[in-house]
Chains A and B, each alone.
Chain A
Amino acid sequence: MNWARYGEEGIRIVFGNTVSADVHEKVRRYYFFLKSLRLQEIIDIIPSFTTCIIHFNDQLTDFDTLIAHVREKEGDLQKIDIPTPVSHTIPVMYGGQYGPDMEFVCSYAGLAPDEIIEIHAGTVYTVFAVGFIPGFPYMGTLDKRLFVPRLETPRLKVNEGSVGIAQYQTGIYSFESPGGWRIIGKTDRMLFDHRQEPYSLMKIGDQVRFVPV
């Protein structure tokens, strides 16, 4: 684990440099540990594949003080309660009007649409991070046969509910937004509801299975 300054009001804690279940578990445990401290000096924590970013309030503390304070409590790291991951089943309409990049993915992977669907829906994915926009789950890892590069020029508008893939990841656009992932399907499940907590359907560590409909 490596601690570094991140901009002026951030701390970057690096747990590894590869995407793996092992690194993910470390990130996840540390994230829940940081949360459990309920420090008012910490404004936000952003856990992802290999790092945790802490956004701290620099009027209340500084980098060295905050680190010392957190490390002092690290003895509790293995003792804290970590929520059991929730399993989600997400219905997806694959291809056609819902998956504008299905054709590209087929030709890139050298597979038929049915095979793409079978492979994509045949794996249980882990949510490695939630973000960029509210409720967007970064999930992995994809079967190697489905690895595709991002679009060279991202779309200015990806429809809400779009299911995309990029390299080792798959994700769901929780809102209409710009995006560069290859879109292979669409779900009508709501991933983020600002009207009630917990606003996001998914959180780090959750397990996801796609079901073709």
Chain B
Amino acid sequence: MMEIVNPAWLSMVVDGGRYGHADIGVPPSPALDRYAYTALCRLLGYAAGIAAIEVIGNDFSLKVDRDLSCAITGARVTAFAGSMPVAPWKVFMAKAGSTIRVKEAIEGLRYYIGFSGIIDVAKVAGSCTTNLECRFGGYFGRPFLKGDRIALKDVRDAGERAIDESLIPSMKAPHILRIIDGEERDRFSPETLKSLFEKGGDPWYKVTTKTNRTGIRLEGRPLEFRKGTEQSIISEGILPGVVQVPGGGQPIIVLYERTIGGYARIGHVIKADRDLLAHLKPLDKVRFQRITRGEAERLWNEKTTQYYNMLP
């Protein structure tokens, strides 16, 4: 049994995602930083993925009642197991009766805590992850609260493993999000496209407080449509990372909680940059960089190599 001593600002059970039911509107709701989540699973010896805890905020703490191999990935954190400092992206041992405490996130926003045992929560539609909005999956469909008790099953020793420093991504500003063209790109005015992507423009957007697991709402110079152009679209399926622009012109980057959208799509954040979205927080500044599909593929291949190289 583990007990949540302090759930921080938001902590919840996640996994690789709930797929296969998007036709009835069920979104994947996965761990938002997929690279960090995958690294965590591999560190703990679960190549196929396990349930883990995704946390936002300082002072998360959890008490364990048995010796347990654990790891923390994602945002760079200062953390302790009992009084011992814990290295990030590396397996550590928490002693029975001790408390794992994450003092603060130094770089990035979301961090992931996993154990060499299976968090015992029921699967919903094939996945353990939490759909917060619809209150299902995870721990009774909700974020953790102080005093929650979590059972672990099939606990084993994870051994000594670490992710090489060179394979830990930077989450430092400036945040540049590379995008490939979206379906309604041509509906935007040439001035808007120029300002957005070219030197000398005004390309910086601020992440607003209306940002959550559903989407990142940005604020900056409004994106203008060409005169006389239809602004909304006939609603249709969307995939994570799509950049939608409502009539007001402030872009929204859609994350993993929506299956259908009705706003114009100016671009798609490339796969290689999508994990960074998990770490954007209010007041952060971001800009878009337009690249070709070929470049996007090359960048993804590079990232795939990192996935392969995570562990020897």
Contacts and interface: CB of A to CB of B under 8 A. Distances in A.
Interface of A: 5-10, 12, 17, 19, 31, 35, 43-53, 55, 129-136, 138, 174-178, 192, 194, 198-200, 203-204
B237 A199 contact: no
A44 B19 contact: yes
A132 B23 contact: no
A177 B133 contact: yes
Contacts of A52: 237
Given A134-B25, A200-B24, A8 B271 contact: yes
Interface string B229-270: 000001111110110000000000000001111000000101
Contacts of A178: 214
A132 B21 CA distance: 12
B133 A5 contact: no
A61 B25 CA distance: 24
A164 B166 CA distance: 52
Nearest to A48: B236
A7 B235 contact: no
Nearest to A4: B183
Contacts of A51: 236-237
29 contacts: A6-B183, A7-B180, A7-B241, A8-B180, A8-B268, A8-B270, A9-B239, A17-B234, A19-B234, A43-B19, A45-B23, A46-B22, A47-B237, A48-B235, A48-B236, A52-B237, A130-B23, A130-B25, A132-B258, A133-B133, A133-B258, A134-B27, A175-B133, A176-B133, A192-B25, A199-B21, A199-B24, A199-B125, A200-B25
A199 B23 CA distance: 11
B25 A135 contact: yes
Contacts of A136: 25
Contact of A5 (B234, B241, B293): B293
Interface residues on B, range: 35 or more
Interface in B115-142: 124-125, 131, 133-134, 136-137
Contacts of A43: 19-20
B296 interface: yes
A194 B24 contact: no
A54 to B, nearest CB: 9
A50 B235 CA distance: 9
Given A8-B297, A135-B24, A46 B237 contact: yes
Given A5-B293, A7-B180, A134 B241 contact: no
Contact of B260 (A31, A131, A175, A198): A131
A175 B20 CA distance: 20
Contact of A7 (B234, B236, B242): B242
Contacts of B197: none
B241 A50 contact: no
B26 interface: yes
Q: What are the 9 closest A-B residue pairs judged by CB atoms, nearest first?
A: A46-B237, A53-B237, A131-B25, A200-B24, A44-B22, A131-B260, A7-B268, A194-B136, A131-B259
Contacts of B24: 130-131, 134-135, 192, 198-200, 203
Nearest to B270: A8
B239 A6 contact: yes
B234 A194 contact: no
Contact of A49 (B137, B236, B270): B236
B283 to A, nearest CB: 20
